[in-house]
Structure 1
Amino acid sequence: MKLLVIWRLLTVGGVNAGWRNRAIYFKEHGINTEFLYCKDLGGLHMMKDIAPVYVTKDENEIHHMLKHHHYDAVIVVDTNQAYKWLSQANYTGPILIEARTPEIIKLKRNLEGFETVNPIKFIVPSEHQKRVLSILVAHNSPTEVIYNGVDTSFFKQLPREQIDISAEPYLPNNKKVVAYIGRLDQRKNWKQLMKIAKLMYEERNDVEFWVIGGDQSKDRTKFENKWKNNELNKIIKWFPIIPYQQMPHLYAKIKQSGGCTIATTKGESFGNTFIEAMACGVPVVAPNVSSIPEIVIHEETGYLFREGDIEEAAKSIYKVLDNPVLYESLSNAAIQRVVEIFSISQCADKYVRMLQKFMKES
């Protein structure tokens, strides 16, 4: 079987991390995946070693691919231009739509024109996202929830002797690391992260914040100016680019310090960094919004706080950092939850069975 996945943006975010994991698993089960993107925003390094990747907006080139590469199915991820390309190329194979955008206004825009290609199914990464999608499509539209999966042979607890201590970020002495991982934009809500860091800095001196990512983010310049002008660089270390292959080592350093990850997002359709951290035994502190309670179990694998409540967020972080016995309990439960629910063998296998079913019926 041969698939084409179409998405606008080749980022280092959760969508491509999820598809990287799927493509590896699919290949082991006789399914070859190719990727078509309109623009590379720094994610090429994480995809090119596992599957053919095309980055183009040239319609003639795209039409040629759809007509001559013999795809058994096409999966469109939040890219409304793809519906025109598929129609113009007279593509007749099965088409699936992954609806991942958590903001309903943007999701509506990304779905414009989908009726023209008559998709056989919508795929969403959480029950929450299924509810969001149901507002925009007919109630009887076939929709399936398939969680993003993480490769637990890659994202796992690393023994200290295996951690790459020669690569940034370097572990601070006698400080616990609280890491924000992801883009710098309005939805990810980096401004609230800065407020939490400032509050905690006023209350204690044994914590160092890491911001991981944001090299090509929309708010990069705003973040950088605020970070420098408010002297937040004393408490926040920023690493705009960390290679994807280094991420298990990054999580291992956070765990070695006795730290956790912190999210301040206003909404997620899923959240790959949560399951990556949990797979490595790192507790997660995040707002109790959208799909996050499907992933992080409050007081079991991490802590959930009321959206916008920086005091509660700080107190939640303190609970994780200040009780070693509780920390190990959270860590072990997080690993177990990922293995049982979010491992790639669980999640991608569901996708494989669905695709095989469609191939038999077509």
Structure 2
Amino acid sequence: MTRPRIVFCYRYGLLGGVSAQLLNRYPAMSQFFDVTVVYEQDYGMASRFPAGAAVVAPTQRDREAALAQANADIVVVIDSPSFIDAWRTAGKPGRLVLEVHTTTANVSYLRDRDQFADVSHIITVSQYMDELLRSHRMQEIAPISIVPNCLDDMWRQPTVPTIMDGHPLVWVGKLDSHKRWRTAVDLMDQVAEGERDGLIPMLVGGLTSPVAEVAALTTRLATSTGLANAVWWPRVEYDRMPALYTSVAASGGVHICTSINESFGMAVAESVVRGCPVIAPAVGALPEILPAAALYEAEDFGAAREKVRRALHDQAFRAELLSTADRLRELTVPGRAAELYAQIVEKILGSPVPSR
């Protein structure tokens, strides 16, 4: 019995977000499927897959050719409508599946319902996203299933932490209005005031950010007294992030999240799995993966600030913030995502999916 061929299509091969999710899934998915990933643009992610597993198709003609050549049984388009057009032009090879992760303004593409006429199934990553899709009446187009995001096994491997001279306060994300880096920097600046043991503000991400955003960040870091010890890493290799979170935790640090919304909250989940406490807004799917103690009401940054200060010094509170860690480790096992995907594909194709 041959394994189904499945192609995942996504716009950006970035070192994080959906692309990191595809990389995390790949080994477990390969137990059930012959997997190919097609990107519109690559920023260093394609080379992280085994040779030939990920390809870059920058033009519409390239995307059509890639889908035609893949001879797929299942084509999964993740928040990238141009691939739906390419799939149709290529002769509709395989069954079309829509996977939805975005909660930003990009979610507006769901309003163009005509483009989804051939979709066989819709997959998303959390109960929050399931409800969001139903608010767009997407269940009238195709069945909706939840496949939670997963974390590669490296996230469960121990690492030796680096102990820092001070309490790190880390923020991870793009330099954009959705992740609200300016709010994060404000909070870091405010928490630093009166922090006797010393605060080390740490910002991770922003490699592909517009020049204006980078200039605004670096100017702020250079001119704010509370940010005098701050460090900014525009890019940290993905396989080094587990050690970073472990080191932040071992140094008594905290991860602050300031996002407007999250479909799942991968950086938050990664942090908690590594034993690093998180303070985050009660938005999107974050209440599904964090305890109530970790959450502040959206826009209540005074509460966020006080929770961060408490987490830096109160060991019992830190333990409470990590109370969902074991459940998250189980929820994000890659094999679980692969098995759920196999069940969906079996329903679509009407035949069992063999495992290796």
TM over 0.5: yes
Aligned counterpart, 2:235: 241
Tell me, in whole angstroms, the C-alpha distance in 2 between the residues paired with 1:250 and 1:188. 20
Shift in CA distance, 330/307, structure 1 to aligned 2, threshold 3 Å? closer
Return the offset for 1:77: 0.6
Number of positions where the alignment pairs a residue of Structure 1 with one of Structure 2: 345
1:258-315 Cα shifts (integer Å, max 9, x gaps): 212110001111111111111111111100111110111123xxx1012222221111
Aligned counterpart, 1:168: none
Residue type of the alignment partner of 2:169: V
Aligned counterpart, 1:14: 17
Aligned counterpart, 1:348: 338
Shift in CA distance, 69/157, structure 1 to aligned 2, threshold 3 Å? closer
With 66-75 and 53-62 compared, the bigger mean Cα shift is at 53-62
Aligned counterpart, 2:169: 178
Unaligned stretches of 5+ residues in structure 2: none
Return the offset for 1:317: 1.2
Aligned counterpart, 1:197: 188
1:12-50 Cα shifts (integer Å, max 9, x gaps): 2221121111111111x23122111111234345x4348
Q: CA contact under 8 A between 2:76 and 2:97: conserved in structure 1?
A: yes
Identity of aligned residues (%): 21
Tell me, in whole angstroms, the C-alpha distance in 2 between the residues paired with 1:140 and 1:304. 34
- Secondary structure at the aligned position of 2:350 is classed as helix
Of the three residues 312, 318, 323, the one matched with 1:321 is 312
Shift in CA distance, 116/98, structure 1 to aligned 2, threshold 3 Å? closer
Q: CA contact under 8 A between 2:133 and 2:139: conserved in structure 1?
A: no
- Give the alignment's Cα RMSD to 1 decimal: 2.3
Shift in CA distance, 231/56, structure 1 to aligned 2, threshold 3 Å? farther
Tell me, in whole angstroms, the C-alpha distance in 2 between the residues paired with 1:290 and 1:54. 32
- Secondary structure at the aligned position of 2:140 is classed as coil
Aligned counterpart, 1:40: 42
Tell me, in whole angstroms, the C-alpha distance in 2 between the residues paired with 1:179 and 1:48. 28
Of the three residues 245, 254, 260, the one matched with 1:260 is 254
Unaligned stretches of 5+ residues in structure 1: 166-170
Return the offset for 1:183: 1.0
Return the offset for 1:340: 3.0
Return the offset for 1:117: 5.0
1:234-274 Cα shifts (integer Å, max 9, x gaps): 14211111101111111110111021211000111111111
Shift in CA distance, 112/9, structure 1 to aligned 2, threshold 3 Å? farther
Q: TM-score, normalised by structure 2?
A: 0.89
Residue type of the alignment partner of 1:321: L
Residue type of the alignment partner of 2:121: K
Q: CA contact under 8 A between 1:122 and 1:143: conserved in structure 2?
A: yes
Residue type of the alignment partner of 2:173: G
1:302-340 Cα shifts (integer Å, max 9, x gaps): x10122222211111122221224434543x33312123
Tell me, in whole angstroms, the C-alpha distance in 1 between the residues paired with 2:114 and 2:221. 42
Tell me, in whole angstroms, the C-alpha distance in 1 between the residues paired with 2:289 and 2:330. 12
Q: TM-score, normalised by structure 1?
A: 0.87
2:306 pairs with 1:306: no
2:203 pairs with 1:211: yes
Instruction: Give matches, 1:110-125, under 5 Å.
Output: 112=112, 115=115, 118-125=118-125
Q: CA contact under 8 A between 1:42 and 1:216: conserved in structure 2?
A: no
Shift in CA distance, 266/138, structure 1 to aligned 2, threshold 3 Å? closer
1:64-116 Cα shifts (integer Å, max 9, x gaps): 2222322111000111111211111112411110112103x421226646635
